[in-house]
């Protein structure tokens, strides 16, 4: 299989990150600099930034994690502060499925299953994500309607209509099926609302439940199978 797919299945990184490392000439296969078209069987000697890859057949797992505010969803934070490397997620190396910005908190899925990760993170697939948003002033029905009906344009492209329900005077629930960069915050900016708190409560049917900030749990076989069924288009 292609090298980037192999590294993804080994839980080393995503395919895109593997491609970046290959382009940067950080990977050697049997002593030769890897290229984007290289294929491997798993029997080769692979060095990543000088470190030998120990080929494994790990148990494929998915974790649900309550990401705290202030944590960058990356393993290499060049600006300092906490990132994914600051936390212990168990014996298997996992990578995030998608993103959650530094100023937001709540549910983030992590996995060592490269195929499942690529499917769930790919922008062309629609995966629902639910958030609880607190703003700085009381909401009016016109603002709730504007947020949900798909009339807001970001970067010359309208957002998709979505479910928006008011929870309290300054709080609403929103369910998105697209994952544009800082989308909710930008939508609120258009409505002249300042986001005070943004909390993700659900991803593709997986709920955060009673996980405390910084805690994680392993998804059950039933929960993972549900994700895999969707991966196969069932």
Find, among 79, 80, 3, the residue nearest to 35 by Cα: 3
Contact by Cβ (8 Å): 78, 70: no
The two tokens of residue 229 are 């069924």
Instruction: At 27, give phi and psi (nearest 5°).
Output: -120, 135
The strand ranges marked E within 112-212 are 129-135, 153-154, 157-158, 163-168, 171-176, 195-203, 206-207
Active site residue 103: no
| Helices and strands per DSSP (H, E), number in the chain | 6, 15
Q: Which residues contact 110 (CB under 8 A, 6 or more apart)?
A: 62, 63, 65, 84, 89, 94, 95, 96, 97, 216
Catalytic choice (30, 38, 101, 113): 101
Residue 177's CB is within 10 A of a number of other CB atoms, namely: 13
Q: Which residues pair with 63 in a beta bridge?
A: 110, 218
| Catalytic residue positions, numbered | 101
């Amino acid at each position: 299989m292609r090298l980037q797919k192999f590294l993804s299945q080994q839980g080393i990184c995503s395919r895109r990150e593997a491609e970046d490392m290959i382009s940067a000439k950080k990977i050697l296969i049997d002593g030769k600099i890897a290229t984007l078209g290289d294929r491997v069987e798993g029997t080769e000697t692979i060095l990543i930034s000088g470190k030998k890859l120990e080929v494994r057949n790990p148990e494929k797992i998915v974790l649900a994690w309550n990401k705290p505010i202030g944590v960058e969803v990356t393993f290499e934070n060049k600006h300092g502060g906490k990132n994914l490397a600051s936390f212990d997620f168990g014996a298997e190396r996992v990578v995030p499925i998608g993103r959650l910005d530094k100023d937001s908190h709540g549910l983030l899925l992590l996995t060592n299953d490269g195929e499942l990760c690529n499917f769930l993170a790919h922008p062309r697939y629609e995966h629902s994500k639910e958030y609880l948003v607190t703003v700085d002033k009381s909401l009016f029905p016109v603002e709730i309607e504007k947020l949900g009906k798909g009339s807001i344009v970001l970067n010359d492209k309208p957002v998709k209509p979505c479910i928006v329900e008011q929870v309290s005077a300054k709080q609403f629930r929103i369910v998105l099926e697209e994952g544009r960069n800082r989308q909710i915050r930008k939508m609120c900016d258009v409505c002249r609302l300042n986001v005070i708190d943004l909390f993700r409560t659900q991803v593709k049917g997986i709920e955060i439940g009673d996980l405390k900030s910084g805690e994680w749990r392993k998804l059950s076989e039933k929960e993972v199978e549900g994700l895999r069924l969707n991966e196969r288009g069932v």
